[in-house]
Structure 1
C-alpha cells in the first residue's frame, strides 16, 4: 500500500513519518489508542509501524495528545483578511554578547535585543508566532529577571496585549514556536486550548540530558498536555500558502522561520533566531551554541527564498527591525 505524506511529515493515517532526527523511545505502545486510526482500512504492518513511531515521538511530550490535522484552504474561495501585529514580549540584555558569534565580533560588548511575538489574523483564525518571555517576569521587582547570563525584562504582558484586541488566549487557534528557548517559549502555559506547531526534533532535543542551554523545562512542560502538531518539514499553517513555517535548523535542531504573504505589504520573512542582529544577517555570523554546518545551510536556503520571493526580511531580535514595524495595536496587512 502506498503511504501518502504531506509537508508536515504526517502520513495518510495521521501518523508522523519516521525521521532520522526522531529519538528512539522506550515508551510502551497502547494498541487500543491506535486501533481507531486503522478501523475500516486494509491491514498493513507498515501502517502500524508508522503509528507506533508517531506514539514514540509524542511520548517525549509526556503522553499521546491530540494531533491537529493539516488545515484546508478557505472553502469559500474568497481571500481571507490577513493582518500581522508586532507585540512587545520583552527585552533581553547581555553585558557580554560574545555568545552571538563564534568569530569574536561581540566579545566583551553589551547587546540589547527586543523579544517580539507576532500575532497573525487569518480571517476568523489567529496564529501567535512565539510566546516571548514569561508574563510572570512582569511581577518581579522592576519586571526584571536575571538568568542564563542575561537580564530579561517584561514591562507589558502578552495577555494584556491580547486583551487590547479583545482577545483571550483561548481565541488563539495556533501557536507556532520557532524553537523552545526561554525567550520564545515563556508563555506556553497561557494557551491550553491552542494547537502548538513545533518540530518533534526540537522537543526531543530540549529534553536531552543534561538540559541544553536556554531551555527551561518548567516552561515547556505544558506541551505534554497540549494539542501538538509535529512540523518536521515546512508547514502551511492555514492551507492556502499565506503563512508557512520554514525548516531552518542550526540554532537548535528543530528551529523554524516564518514566511507571511500579506495582500498589501507583500511577503515577509521572519527569521526566528536564524539571525539575532542585522550584523549577523549581513555578515553571516554564527553563534557559539549553533551547529555551524546546519546554520550555514539554513542561511543559504533563507537567502535563496528571499531572492526568489523578493521578501522583506524581519530579523526577529534586531532593534532596527522591531522599531520599523507598526507600533501595536497598528498592524501590517
Structure 2
C-alpha cells in the first residue's frame, strides 16, 4: 500500500464511528423563527370572526323569528403553507359596543375578538398567511380582506366578475373592493386542490352568489370535513333545501346543496353548516385544532 493510500485508509477508520447509527452530529445553531414551523400534518383551527343578530330568520328562508348566527374563520396549517378560509366581519366593528346595525338588512353585526388578535394567538401576523380563500365576498365573509395584501387570494373568477361590476353589489365587503386590484390572486374556474395532495380542496357551489365556493379538508385523525360556506345558512336550510330569497340563483343553490350531499356521502364526511353556532362549538376550543 502506497503512503497516500495508507493515509486515506487511516482517515476512513477514524471518521467511520461518527457516521454510524450511534453517533450524534453537532447541533446546528438555532435561529429565531418569525412564525412557528409548519406542522408535519395538516391542522384545522376554527374560531368566531363575528356574530349576526337577525330579527327574522324568514330573511334566510327559514322559520320566522329572531336568531343569532356566527361568522367563523378557519385557519389551516399545512406543511406547504397557511390558508385562511374567510375573513369574517370587519374588525373595526369591535370598537362599537353592541355592534353595528346594517340599515339595509336590519342585521346587527358585532365582533368580540378581532381576527388580527386571534391570529396573534397562533403566533401569526396577517403577512404570514400564505393564502386567503373566500367562500364568497359578502361583508361577513370578506370583512377583513384588506388585512391581507401580502397573501394570495383564492376565489372564483365568476365571483370576482360579479363583485367588480359597476356599481358593485351592495353586499360586497368594502375592504375587498378597495384591496383586490393590488393583490396576487388565484382565480378558479371550478374545483381546485390547493396544496396538490388532496388534503385541502375548494369546490364550486354557486347559487348564493354566482361564484360561491365550499371547502373540503381531509385530516388524518379527524377524517374529512365539508364546510358549507353559505351554500346553506342553517340546519333547516340544509335539511329542507331552503334558500334565502336574496340568493342570486335558487336552482343553482339547490343543485349545490345536492352536490355537497354527494361529497359528504362519498367520503363519509362531517358536514359543517358554517353559520350555525353549534357547529363551531363542536370544534376544539381555540387555539385548539383538529388534525
Per the normalisation by structure 2, the TM-score is: 0.83
Q: Which residue of 276, 284, 287 corresponds with 2:233?
A: 276
Structure 1 distance, partners of 2:112, 2:265, is 37
Contact 1:279 / 1:285 at 8 angstroms: preserved in 2?
yes
Structure 2 distance, partners of 1:292, 1:89, is 27
Corresponding residue number in structure 2 for 1:88: 48
Contact 2:146 / 2:175 at 8 angstroms: preserved in 1?
no
For residues 8-44 of structure 1, give each alpha carbon's deviation from its aligned partner in whole angstroms, at most 9, with x where no partner exists. xxxxxxxxxxxxxxxxxxxxxxxxxxxxxxxxxxxxx
Corresponding residue number in structure 2 for 1:211: 168
- The verdict on how the C-alpha distance between 1:156 and 1:214 changes in structure 2, with shifts beyond 3 A counting, is same
Corresponding residue number in structure 2 for 1:323: 281
Structure 2 distance, partners of 1:151, 1:252, is 21
Contact 1:180 / 1:220 at 8 angstroms: preserved in 2?
no
Corresponding residue number in structure 1 for 2:265: 307
The 5-angstrom pairing of residues 167-246 of structure 1 reads 167-246=124-203
Q: Which residue of 145, 165, 169 corresponds with 2:100?
A: 145
- Tell me the SS of whatever aligns to 2:71: strand
Deviation for aligned residue 1:106: 2.8
Structure 1 distance, partners of 2:72, 2:89, is 9
Structure 2 distance, partners of 1:219, 1:100, is 24
Deviation for aligned residue 1:278: 1.0
- The verdict on how the C-alpha distance between 1:209 and 1:184 changes in structure 2, with shifts beyond 3 A counting, is same
Corresponding residue number in structure 2 for 1:38: none
For residues 224-275 of structure 1, give each alpha carbon's deviation from its aligned partner in whole angstroms, at most 9, with x where no partner exists. 1001010121011111110000000000000000000001000000000001
Asked if residue 126 in structure 1 is aligned to residue 82 in structure 2, the reply is yes
Deviation for aligned residue 1:297: 1.0
- Tell me the SS of whatever aligns to 1:220: helix
Structure 2: runs of 5 or more not aligned? 1-38
Structure 1 distance, partners of 2:129, 2:175, is 22
Structure 1 distance, partners of 2:106, 2:163, is 19
Q: Which residue of 255, 258, 276 corresponds with 1:297?
A: 255
Corresponding residue number in structure 2 for 1:97: 57
Structure 1 distance, partners of 2:166, 2:180, is 18
For residues 180-219 of structure 1, give each alpha carbon's deviation from its aligned partner in whole angstroms, at most 9, with x where no partner exists. 0000001111111100001111111113355324223344
TM-align CA RMSD: 1.4
Contact 1:268 / 1:311 at 8 angstroms: preserved in 2?
yes
Per the normalisation by structure 1, the TM-score is: 0.73
Structure 2 distance, partners of 1:80, 1:266, is 16
- Tell me the SS of whatever aligns to 1:81: coil
- Tell me the SS of whatever aligns to 2:50: strand
- The number of residue pairs the alignment matches comes to 250
Q: Which residue of 106, 118, 121 corresponds with 1:161?
A: 118
- Tell me the SS of whatever aligns to 1:159: helix
Corresponding residue number in structure 2 for 1:114: 70
Structure 1 distance, partners of 2:174, 2:111, is 20
Larger Rg: 2
Structure 1: runs of 5 or more not aligned? 1-78
